[in-house]
Amino acid sequence: MSLCPCSSAKPFADCCEPFLLLQDKPKSARALVRARFCAYKLGAGTYREFLMRTWHPATANKINITDLTNDNLQWAGLEILFAEQKGDKARVEFKAGYTDNLGQPHVHHERALFHRIKGTWMYLDGQVRDLTGQAAG
Point out which residues bind Zn ion (CB under 5 A).
4, 6, 8, 15-16, 34
- Measured from the CB atom, the residue of 49 and 100 that comes closer to Zn ion is 49
65 CB neighbour count, 10 Å cutoff? 11
- Measured from the CB atom, the residue of 34 and 106 that comes closer to Zn ion is 34
Task: Write down the least CB distance from residue 5 to Zn ion, Å.
Answer: 7
Task: Write down the least CB distance from residue 104 to Zn ion, Å.
Answer: 26
- Measured from the CB atom, the residue of 18 and 105 that comes closer to Zn ion is 18
Task: Write down the least CB distance from residue 121 to Zn ion, Å.
Answer: 14
Do residues 42 and 17 lie in contact, with contact meaning Cβ atoms separated by under 8 Å?
no
Task: Please report the DSSP string for 47-112 in residue order.
Answer: THHHHHHTB-HHHHTT--HHHHT-TT-EEEEEEEEEEEEETTEEEEEEEEEEE-TTS-EEEEEEEE
Query: How far apart, in Å, do the first and last CA atoms of the chain sit?
Result: 23
- Measured from the CB atom, the residue of 9 and 102 that comes closer to Zn ion is 9
Specify the 3-state DSSP secondary structure of 8: coil
Task: Write down the least CB distance from residue 29 to Zn ion, Å.
Answer: 14
